[in-house]
Structure 1
Amino acid sequence: MEKSVAEKIFDDVSRAYDKFLNFATFNKINNWQNTLIQNTPNGRYVLDIGTGTGEVVKKLHEKLSEKSFIYGIDLSFNMLKVSKSKIPYQNVLFIKADALRLPFKKNSLDNIYFSLVFRHLPKDKIIYQLKDVLKKDGYVSILEIAKPKSKLLYNFILIFADKIFRPFGRILFSKEEWDYFVESIKNSMTKEELLDFFSKNGFNLHFYESRFLGLIHIAIFKKNVEV
């Protein structure tokens, strides 16, 4: 089966991704992920979608009981190899899987995490997966780029990423890979759009905080419906 564009890109950048992410977030990413985890009521069965190099899973393992089961899924086999090398624990399982075809039973998970992944997915499709595999009163925890209300600021961000930041990004990534990241910014949501989307789909807001001058969402939603 031919690899998807996303799978090819993340396979290629797996070794450089942690360095890039720290650089691109001015070394804030670990603090943001810790805030997301600390403010989430975590249960026994926890999934990290688009786990990448496993940083969220690593932090979850440090926080949760050994009786918990933590799963990390990703399309990229190379990313999963990096994750496995960091976190070789028995209660952690990494799976090569598509977020739109989650390999879990209905109402089987207590928590689902996304760290800089949600904007890459078609939200009208992923929400059905979340409602299917998440238990009632389970939580979805999202760390993501926020789309600013100001069109001027939004356009500045796109110009910054595409023109000013591009030479630094191209040190690590090919043109196709960098274009993929820049294009994904256009799929970001404002705070109001994000909260409204989850509210319409049967989730209550549990926690919200913005960071980085309002350009980062840290949002946690509680499922309140059976589907």
Structure 2
Amino acid sequence: MDTRFYQSPDLNIERLARDLEETFLIQGYQVQHLGNSERMIVQLKKGGSLETLIGMSAALTLTIQRSAGGVMAMVSEQEWIDKAAAGALGILFLWPLAVTAGAGVLRQAVLEGQLLSTLDTLVMRQRADVKIGPLPPEMQAQMQRQAPPTGNPASASPQSATGPRPGPGQIQCLNCQEINEAEDFYCSHCGKPLSLHKRLCPQCKAEVKANAAFCTKCGTSLAADA
């Protein structure tokens, strides 16, 4: 995951997102952006249904986020975000599993360099005196905690991630390990449900196991309820 830190608090990140979208739309890419004045997401990809089947249409995702002393930007390869679903759930940003496959990886690497170079140019247009450099150490640690897993998604274990433990009135997402408020139904970081729906016996309303064939409280068959 490549990053940038622009030492200028006056950058208009919404304008940057719009300018990036216009630039890559002209080049024939599918582009979308979403977010607000504090954090914007820009996604771009090029490819049809055939490339989707062979893993070459993953979206290159740029996150532009305002922080202390400037603006940080990070690039990763992720699933294409459904803007309608994200808006309905109130999700600012999703962290799906990274997608990597064969020749698609090489093409995405070239596009990543082009994306960052274009972003540098657009930033300089807004503020010619901006200083461009690496992320400060404390921000680098934050980016590493937020980064999606790499390699084979099937081999990644959600429980292996490290991070803060939930406190009173909080709940930890089993998918991304981030902390949410106890009354939340969906994770504000990855969009996954924070708890599985309970299965109840249709007769006595007792909670039953997901794979149970009979209720252990009243003996009712659960075959029709499965």
Output the TM-score relative to the length of structure 2: 0.30
Larger CA Rg, structure 1 vs 2:
2
More helix by share: 1
Output the TM-score relative to the length of structure 1: 0.30
